[in-house]
Structure 1
């Protein structure tokens, strides 16, 4: 078995740095993701992963796992703000989450769509789907598209993020997506901040990497706090 290495210069992250990603490319991407979601498997069991009890469990786990980073990568104010706004949003929108489950918006998704997992040549290839964890793979399609939108905003391309959402809604027909969009962008940014924060407790990570990780995690948590203000 021979595996070809994907050329770095064709990864979307690099192309964004070089300002080579335009609206035409984003339009193609939105269409590909919308069509993938339409065909993606769904069932009663898969739907449960987008239900309010499961979403609440995921958030409680996030808050518990980031307590030790308060004052280090996330400020006490941001932690409190996000926790309060998320809890309040879930209480106010129980019917909306139930409706999205009933409308089969929860599907077997890719689970990790961000610019580092998109290869752009003549065609667009989205690789490295999560196969090892159902909780990451079975989710509301809004959460999946929110990950890429958040990633674009983190890289200071909110223009492309807005266009991505606009085109995705057109191709998918998901008119209520924007009602949960800041919620899921907040979730995706918070998880990124959490995962990067874990590096600070890893003895195999050197000092320089930890300094860089601290800065990056802080930026993700600040972005999550910004999204939370809209909830």
Structure 2
């Protein structure tokens, strides 16, 4: 019965009508002078003067199924809950989008609930790590504060349990999946180049199984953030990290060194190798963990392949938006993957 009602409401008020309403500054109680709209692969984000509101798209993919209002509500609630670990005062809660009796949409109030949004405090754009990297203005000491916060978070996370060899097999299988997508004929990428990167990754997994088994036995595989990119880091006096990956817990189960390698790799890609180096310098000094450099290089290569694959998936659309942008991004990631894979031999 509930499913029938939700399907009816999905049909009655489509995503286009919801987005059109939320684009209006009058939709929000804080009376913004203007509303900036950002579209991502999975959501629409509406930025007012002081707040950000996120509306999930009613999509289905290999990873998510957001086709019902109930599913989107659950995901909104999970996003708020998980992000309070690293962005405690930023995530304010969920807000219902209502269809009033007169047929008008409103945030909150009376009427039928036709969707849910995550409400956040808006962060200062100028303090986001990606912006600071672009301006070559990352404050001295800010990366140390960031890593200190992450280390405390990792220490509070229970170690994940794996059967002997299971973690290493997971990495190997994921590496093969990344390469398989990247070598699809539609992308016209160098088969030899991708095969060489994959071979180096698999060779290390086969040659030094103890390197990865030790990470498991030492409790280094934890539930992390899952999407630790510079654009999700705000370097205020106390660093804030937003957009924890909420829709699939398995993607958050990873080596702390893997998560930091992803952040460091992204800093490299955006032109800040010194920030990349500082992340691990601080981590090794304060965490009691000293991941070997070849492990860090493996994770950087592995993550670059994963994100190259994710960029490539945008080109599968019949008429991809910004095809040149995605092709350039794929090349950037493959350059990084290749560079770090050479250090594994």
Counterpart in the other structure of 1:17: 134
SS of the residue corresponding to residue 139 of structure 1 reads: strand
- Cα separation, 1, equivalents of 2:226 and 2:181: 20
Cα offsets for 1:164-199 (capped at 9, x unmatched): 111011111112343410000001111111111111
| Cα shift at 1:69 | 5.5
Partners of 1:50 and 1:106 within 8 A in 2: no
Of 148, 151, 158, 1:34 maps to: 151
Aligned residues: 227
| Cα shift at 1:55 | 1.1
- Cα separation, 2, equivalents of 1:39 and 1:202: 41
- Cα separation, 2, equivalents of 1:131 and 1:50: 23
| Cα shift at 1:50 | 7.1
What are the ranges of 5 or more consecutive residues in structure 1 without an aligned counterpart? none
Counterpart in the other structure of 2:223: 108
TM-score, normalised with respect to structure 2: 0.62
Of 319, 333, 336, 1:220 maps to: 333
Q: Quick check: which one's helix share is greater?
A: 1
Partners of 2:129 and 2:231 within 8 A in 1: yes
Cα distance, 1:123–1:50 mapped onto 2, change above 3 Å? farther
Counterpart in the other structure of 1:96: 211
| Cα shift at 1:70 | 7.6
1:138-177 equivalent positions in 2, closer than 5 A: 138-177=253-292
Q: Quick check: which one's strand share is greater?
A: 2
SS of the residue corresponding to residue 141 of structure 2 reads: helix
Counterpart in the other structure of 1:51: 167
| Cα shift at 1:32 | 1.3
Of 44, 60, 63, 2:179 maps to: 63
Aligned-pair Cα RMSD in Å = 2.0
- Which structure would you say has the larger Rg? 2
Counterpart in the other structure of 1:230: 343
Of 280, 293, 296, 1:178 maps to: 293
What are the ranges of 5 or more consecutive residues in structure 2 without an aligned counterpart? 1-94, 96-118
- Cα separation, 2, equivalents of 1:22 and 1:50: 40
Partners of 1:62 and 1:191 within 8 A in 2: yes
SS of the residue corresponding to residue 129 of structure 1 reads: coil
Cα offsets for 1:62-118 (capped at 9, x unmatched): 12222215863x422321210111111110111111111011000001111110111
- Cα separation, 2, equivalents of 1:69 and 1:3: 42
The one of the two structures with greater contact order (alpha-carbon pairs below 8 A, sep at least 6) is: 1
Partners of 1:9 and 1:15 within 8 A in 2: yes
